[in-house]
Amino acid sequence: MDCLFCKFVSGEIPIQKVYEDCDFIIIKDIAPQAKNHFLAIPKQHFKLLSEATEEQSLMVGKMLKKISTLTKELELENGYRLVINQGDDAGQTVFHLHVHILSGQKMGWQPA
Ligand code: 5GP
Ligand code: ZN
């Protein structure tokens, strides 16, 4: 399977990690949409929440909670936004589930 994020996770493509544990990594997005734009990427490959196993679903919950504790590393002090694009209408371009973490500035709301 040719998956960019699996290659980041395995180290086949070296990438600087902001955080890593046994479940997921956090990296900086290559095309930031806010002052800080990180991607939390599970180590297991799955595309959609609707396709996640029970174990993967629990891991996503743990991952979201862990993100909320990385206040200094991710500059979360004044609030932040989490986005999970799912499928075509949302504009998902990498088909390995990931959470966008946007922080460090006031944000508006632009659905389109
Ligand atoms: P999606 O559109 O699937 O929700 O998000 C994919 C994200 O991956 C985009 O924000 C895009 O900028 C980011 N991305 C794509 N290729 C790379 C890369 O090679 N390195 C990094 N750090 N981010 C990438
Ligand atoms: Zn993958």
What's the pLDDT tens digit per position in 39-78? 999 999 999 999 999 999 999 999 999 999 999 999 999 9
Average pLDDT over residues 81-91: 97
pTM above 0.95, yes or no: yes
- Taken in order of first residue, the domains within the chain and their CATH numbers are 4-103 (3.30.428.10)
Atom of ligand 1 nearest to the CA of 92: 3
| CA 69/CA 110 separation, integer angstroms | 27
Residue 101 pLDDT: 98
Distance CA 49, CA 16 (A): 26
Residues lining ligand 2 (ion), CB within 5 A?
A: 3, 5-6, 45, 96
pLDDT surpasses 90 at 13: yes
Q: Has 100 been annotated as catalytic? A: no
